[in-house]
Amino acid sequence: AQKITQTQPGMFVQEKEAVTLDCTYDTSDPSYGLFWYKQPSSGEMIFLIYQGSYDQQNATEGRYSLNFQKARKSANLVISASQLGDSAMYFCAMRARSNFGNEKLTFGTGTRLTIIP
């Protein structure tokens, strides 16, 4: 079984500062993928970044980077130069690859990020 743990229920960050959102995971599958999604108050889950378990380098997408430490089973999201529009819920999720096609995503409980002007 897969498990995702996000230990920060809420965070307040000054605009333009960098912020790190923590995520640890547990799985016995050797092949898996880790995702971060942003969920504004409207409800839609917006895909931010993906890291495969065999990827040698940390994933980056614009202002988002994923600090992947496989031995520690952590996949922290780093947002550089935070903006007011970054205020939202952030979810870490894991997918274990299946021979039957796509596999379910297991989500953490989320972190509510608030950017302060």
Partner 1 sequence: ETGVTQSPTHLIKTRGQQVTLRCSSQSGHNTVSWYQQALGQGPQFIFQYYREEENGRGNFPPRFSGLQFPNYSSELNVNALELDDSALYLCASSLEAHEQYFGPGTRLTVT
Which of 25, 32, 68, 91: binder of partner 1 (CB under 8 A)?
A: 91
From 10-18, 52-60, 70-78, 97-105, span contacting partner 1 (CB under 8 A): 97-105
CA distance 52 to 83: 27
Q: Are 1 and 96 in contact (CB under 8 A)?
A: no
Choose which of 25, 36, 37, 68 interacts with partner 1 (CB under 8 A): 37
**Closest CB to partner 1 among 99 and 117?**
99
Amino acid identity at 18: A
Name the residue nearer to partner 1 (CB basis): 19 or 49: 49
3-state secondary structure of 4: strand
Q: Which tokens sit at 55?
A: 């990827």
